Structure 1
Amino acid sequence: MPRGEVMPRGDTALPVTLDRASAVPLAVQLADALRESASSGHLRGGDRLPSTRALADRLGVSRTVTAAAYEQLHAEGWIVGKHGSGTYVTTSPPTARPEHRSAAARDELPPGRLALLPGVPWAEGLDRSAWRRAWRAASDTPPAVYLSRTGLAEYREVIAEHLLRHRGLDADTESVLATGGTTAAVVELAAAVLRPGDLVAVEEPGYQRAVQAFVRAGMRVVGVPIDGEGLRTDLVPPGARLVYCSPAHQYPMGCRMSASRRVELTELARRRDMLVVEDDYDGELRYDVAPLPLLASLAPDVVVHLGTTSKILTPTLGAGWMVAPPPVTQAVLEHRELTGTRPSPAGQHVVVELARHGDLGRHLRRLRRELSDRRTILVEAFARAGVRVLGDDAGAHLVVPLATAEGERETIAAGKRSGVLLDGLARHFASTPTAHGVLVGYAGCSRTELAECVPTLVELSRNGPR
């Protein structure tokens, strides 16, 4: 018998008991039993399983039952078949089956509190079978001895297809660079394209991690106010070398830049020889109407387009992308060569595998439906209570405006006392806040948890100073 093979040696070798009186199909019972054995450590990674015929004979069932159970476990990534050798257990988790947890890192939260924070993805909704299968397939890739400056070719092909299908951006594979995410890309741009002392215009309020990336690279950063149409192009200061904005879904206010404002910004960039960085952090998540053309589609010669998998999948992957004019791309590649920095390929491999099996597209469709429903639940509840909310029908958060800074602080404090963690607008301003309110993220919890806390949210918002 080959070493490591799990063959019948009494009932302790392969503890499987099938209940023929149960309404649960025998194949499902068998798959559950084997999965539990792997979870508990009874079966370990590398153990060889009996053939479907041998196991069927032992259990007194048809081979159809054992074949169906093995097929399910193979799809989930628990077992793998090796040609001419047999079927093997691929892993033996030290604990029970993975718990579906939100991406809000519950272990880091005070007991009994629910985090409804912006910028958190719907990680709970990732198909765990597809997730495991992608990681298994990615792990079959031989260890690299050299990391490409541009990123994996197959990943860039996937992203080019993704951008065309979901964002309407016709970018060839050669123009796509892999990144570690939008913030990592901003850090690279600051180091590769700008010089200390250069003037950078950013949205106010806006994404403060990007702001700090520019500041710490020695840039002079100036906040430009936004209104209902996005960044005020008429207030972009002369001499700015770069404008950073989030036109598809402004962070944190949730509006989108109007078509006319997009044209104004790109024309201004061309007149002033200025770059525009388009942070499309969750541009795939729109639920009402078709998205407006990307800035990169309108003016690929002056726009740097950034995207990430952190909001549509999970930050675990650390994978994003950049599409930029050739001089910018070349500067970033030279910076990577000089500094030895490269985006990690691990997450890229996983994205490729998710796309290869169609799991990426399926997840995006489910994600849009789920977050659209959650947003509707919140918006309708607030409307019934006479509470105004801000933000387009998009993304994974909305804003409840308040009249004063004190009202914002009191509402957040009251939320903590009620077991709900909320974010305030104040921290998204680099200077003195000119707007007040709380942000309600609705992706990082279960739908049940969200529904249960809706009355609390409505009460907090209705009672807060307005």
Structure 2
Amino acid sequence: MTTFPCFRETTLPRTSIDLPVSVDRDASVPLTVQLGNRLRAAMRDGTLKSGERLPSTRALARQLAVSRTVVTEAYQQLYAEGWLDGRHGSGTYVADVVVHTPSPPLASAGPAASAGPAASAGPAVSTWPSGAAGAARSGAVPPDFPAGNGAAPAGPVIDLRPGRPWVNDYDRAAWRRAWRAAADLPPGDDPDPYGLPRLREALAEHLRKTRAVAVGPENIMVTRGTGNGLDLVAATLLRPGDRAGVEDPGYRVAGNVFAARGAEIVPCPVDRDGVVVEELPGDLRVLYTTPAHQYPLGGRLPIPRRERLLAWARRTGAIVVEDDYDAEFRYDVAPLPALHCLDPGRVVLLGTLSKSLAPDVGVGWLVAAPDLLAAVARTRHDLADRTGGPAQQAVAVLLERGDLDRHLRRMRLEYARRRAAVVDVLGPLVSGDTAGLHVMIEVPPAAVPFVVARAAERGVLVDWTESPRRSDRPRGHGLVLGYGSASLTEVRRGTTVIAELVAAWRDGEGRKGETREEPGRTGETRGERTGEDGRRREKTGAGRKGRPAVTRLADKSRMTF
């Protein structure tokens, strides 16, 4: 019996069914394609239900009187598209994302509305993505985007929006043990604005091992997360009218926090490597940046530019707030040191467990020089702001016992598989995939409304980049796809839908009038990037070897817009 790999832990029935399918040997359509089409139809109309076990390739080949290769290739294609699921030694099953109702006709919301190589391959929904990537790591919907066909959701939605981790795979015994230990301690009556000393010591060791940040507990404050830490810094440093820089495009919550403290928000341009130092104004009081994995374009700030950024900060007197966003998850690249390591007196480092563990935990950290940290602690005391004691105790137990480190190692492998699935399907369209839980899918601005609307109608939610506040600088544009909260099967199915829609737009009326060369990309082919040192960086497509065949956008000659 042939089985296909799966990395999800599920309990599935072991009884297979007799498949009500047949093939026509006299038809011009290949037998593998016929079988795949019939199985898809059976899964769409509910003949095959989620969780049902399929016959082995040998048994089905015997039933249909065809070569076992025909069945194996059909199963492989369906598995790669996300229709099938399975575990080693258990068999092959209908995936739990299959929708049992057919898709209604697509509404007219853009060019080539009815085009596409597989228009009925996914569910139709009216659910609209909750926002553009520039609006936040999930934000508000621009009113000028088409809103779909207005139909009720037909089934489960595949959520590929960024900013959401996978919270279904954790060590339940370790989790219960940590919270039991926290519950055994009496409640505190005078919370320390710096946080529990026990947790600060554990965080100092954690940062030393994972980010090479050599600090002691005296440099650390326990926060409720990145937003809380950023607000404390803003309340301490900013006065009404002060100018605060934020990346453009970037994490809009940062701008909201600064604006709430009365600051004037200054959009600072970014490129494929991160914030552009040469275009930073000289009168900023604070600059917020994400050098580990820029949100949303995905760049990693190179060392030479980090040094120039710190030289700018020293020259102007600005404080750099480093959001260590996505730093825990890296693929195919060596880690770069935290910006804080290069100038601890000029950089405030913010971190959180919302991605590495779960957003519900509500624990993060702020690392700064002792004198600045003392000022932040006074502000926090004046604001009566605090981090819950039981959550701090539980996180301390997870760190001290090594449970969090084990969880991180396990999730790095899992996220790497999902990232590889995205690259497998979308190939040269992908950028910003060396770290984190999201990638950029580069498509022309005119294609974005069409792809986002059609994807939502087919049950796939993605975000997109907004136009920069400063329109005088060309930059990347397109979709922002997160793979943190979706299963491997869902990631494969969702990215296949995106690939089909991009191909549909490319081949449809929406291509008319579009130029074939992007601003700032003259002489650069898809799949290559020019780095800070001027050398070409070729995408390696790590993780592709040995994966099943799947319809994908891999032909670079067809991917140039």
Higher mean alpha-carbon deviation, 135-144 vs 245-254, is at 135-144
Unaligned runs of 5+ in 1: 1-105
Aligned-pair CA distance for 1:403: 1.0
Partner of 1:124, secondary structure, is coil
Aligned-pair CA distance for 1:283: 0.7
Q: Please state if 1:372 is matched with 2:416.
A: yes
Partner of 1:381, secondary structure, is helix
Count residues in correspondence.
Answer: 357
State how far apart, in whole Å, the 2-side matches of 1:290 and 1:415 are.
34
For 1:40, the equivalent position in structure 2 comes to none
Moved over 3 A (4+): 108-111, 429-435
Give the number of the structure with larger relative contact order, counting CA–CA contacts within 8 Å between residues 6 or more apart.
Answer: 2
Of the three residues 182, 186, 204, the one matched with 1:142 is 186
Structure with the larger helix share: 1
For 2:442, the equivalent position in structure 1 comes to 401
- Go from structure 1 to structure 2 and tell me whether the alpha carbon gap of 1:158 and 1:463 turns closer, same or farther (over 3 Å shift): farther
Aligned-pair CA distance for 1:454: 3.4
State how far apart, in whole Å, the 1-side matches of 2:397 and 2:502 are.
43
Aligned residue identity for 2:287: V
Partner of 1:123, secondary structure, is coil
Q: Please state if 1:415 is matched with 2:450.
A: no
For 1:228, the equivalent position in structure 2 comes to 272
Aligned residue identity for 1:438: L
Aligned residue identity for 1:226: V
Q: Please state if 1:352 is matched with 2:392.
A: no
Q: Please state if 1:425 is matched with 2:490.
A: no
State how far apart, in whole Å, the 2-side matches of 1:340 and 1:378 are.
44
Aligned-pair CA distance for 1:393: 1.4
For 1:4, the equivalent position in structure 2 comes to none
Partner of 2:285, secondary structure, is strand
Aligned-pair CA distance for 1:459: 1.1
Q: Please state if 1:437 is matched with 2:478.
A: yes
**TM-score for both structures, normalised by structure 2:** 0.61
Of the three residues 276, 280, 295, the one matched with 2:324 is 280
State how far apart, in whole Å, the 2-side matches of 1:430 and 1:219 are.
17
For 1:77, the equivalent position in structure 2 comes to none
State how far apart, in whole Å, the 1-side matches of 2:450 and 2:390 are.
43
For 2:281, the equivalent position in structure 1 comes to 237
Unaligned runs of 5+ in 2: 1-126, 131-152, 507-560
Alignment of 1:247-262 (within 5 A): 247-262=291-306
Aligned residue identity for 1:445: A
* Residues 319, 347 of structure 1: 8 Å contact kept: yes
Aligned-pair CA distance for 1:211: 1.0
Aligned-pair CA distance for 1:318: 0.7
Aligned residue identity for 1:313: L
For 1:456, the equivalent position in structure 2 comes to 497
For 1:213, the equivalent position in structure 2 comes to 257
Of the three residues 354, 362, 375, the one matched with 1:318 is 362
Q: Deviations over 1:130-169 (max 9, x none)?
A: 2222222221121111111100111111111111000011
Aligned residue identity for 1:263: E
State how far apart, in whole Å, the 1-side matches of 2:470 and 2:312 are.
25
Partner of 1:426, secondary structure, is coil
Aligned residue identity for 1:415: A
State how far apart, in whole Å, the 2-side matches of 1:403 and 1:437 are.
6
For 2:333, the equivalent position in structure 1 comes to 289
For 1:129, the equivalent position in structure 2 comes to 173
* Residues 269, 275 of structure 1: 8 Å contact kept: yes
Identical positions, percent: 41
Higher mean alpha-carbon deviation, 252-261 vs 133-142, is at 133-142
* Residues 202, 243 of structure 1: 8 Å contact kept: yes
Aligned residue identity for 2:277: T
State how far apart, in whole Å, the 1-side matches of 2:269 and 2:505 are.
25
* Residues 240, 261 of structure 2: 8 Å contact kept: yes
